[in-house]
């Protein structure tokens, strides 16, 4: 039963607070739109007017409740260190959200879009792509790579590796160091030999 009629920001805040609380209590898989509506003293209809599903509402709740993370353009003077410094904060974001939540959101969001849309997002429409472009520019200026010989595939490789590590539940500092040392650096250094 709805206790009082709330609207606008007051209602949205109550829903997002409820979502965040339930997510912490029961985890992604057990969280339902029904439980969110009940806990926020509203209806599922109200939820679906604002969000398309559980993943969307959790993303909104996370934006409201997590500290703001600003990924910055590292310029340490070394490509390897730049990549490590760029990717380590991603681990912190995932730890705050919990791996099962991140995997659930990725799984549910990936079901809604076509494979072409997924590739487009990995290649261009994400927070890391412009920062990676700057990392490549710095490395090119230091003559560590030949940026002109990077393909779209090699530019998107870090995002693909990060997403894969999240999906299999293996994103940690050791995984990032392995990705950088054994996959990314050899791939990017190879541009100098081409």
Angle, alpha carbons 94-69-90 (nearest 5°): 35
Given this structure, which CATH class describes domain 8-65?
mainly alpha
Is the predicted pLDDT of residue 89 greater than 50, yes or no?
yes
pLDDT tens-digit profile of 65-87? 888 777 788 999 999 999 999 99
- pLDDT value of residue 164: 86
146's CB contacts (< 8 A; 6+ apart) are: 140, 191, 192, 194
The per-residue pLDDT of the chain, averaged, comes to 87
What would the mean pLDDT of 43-57 be, rounded to a whole number?
93
Is the predicted pLDDT of residue 88 greater than 50, yes or no?
yes
The share of the chain scoring above pLDDT 70, in percent, equals 90
Quote the DSSP letter at residue 180: I
Is the predicted pLDDT of residue 95 greater than 70, yes or no?
yes
CA distance linking residue 33 with residue 31, whole number of Å: 7
The segment(s) of the chain belonging to CATH 1.10.10.60 are: 8-65
CA distance linking residue 7 with residue 9, whole number of Å: 7
- pLDDT value of residue 160: 87
Angle, alpha carbons 23-28-30 (nearest 5°): 95
């Amino acid at each position: 039963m709805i206790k009082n009629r709330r609207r606008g920001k007051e209602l949205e805040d109550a829903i997002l607070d409820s979502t965040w609380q339930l997510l912490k209590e029961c985890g992604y898989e057990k969280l339902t739109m029904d439980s969110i509506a009940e806990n926020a003293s509203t209806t599922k209809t109200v939820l679906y007017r604002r969000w398309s599903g559980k993943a969307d509402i959790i993303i909104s709740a996370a934006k409201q409740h997590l500290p703001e993370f600003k990924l910055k353009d590292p310029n340490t003077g070394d490509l390897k260190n730049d990549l490590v410094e760029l990717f380590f904060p991603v681990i912190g974001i995932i730890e705050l959200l919990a791996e099962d939540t991140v995997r659930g959101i990725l799984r549910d969001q990936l079901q809604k879009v076509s494979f072409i849309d997924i590739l487009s997002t990995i290649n261009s429409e994400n927070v890391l792509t412009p920062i990676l472009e700057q990392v490549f520019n710095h490395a090119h200026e230091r003559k560590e790579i030949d940026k002109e010989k990077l393909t779209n595939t090699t530019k998107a490789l870090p995002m693909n590796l990060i997403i894969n590590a999240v999906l299999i539940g293996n994103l940690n500092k050791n995984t990032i160091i392995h990705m950088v040392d054994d996959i990314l650096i050899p791939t990017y250094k190879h541009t100098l030999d081409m």
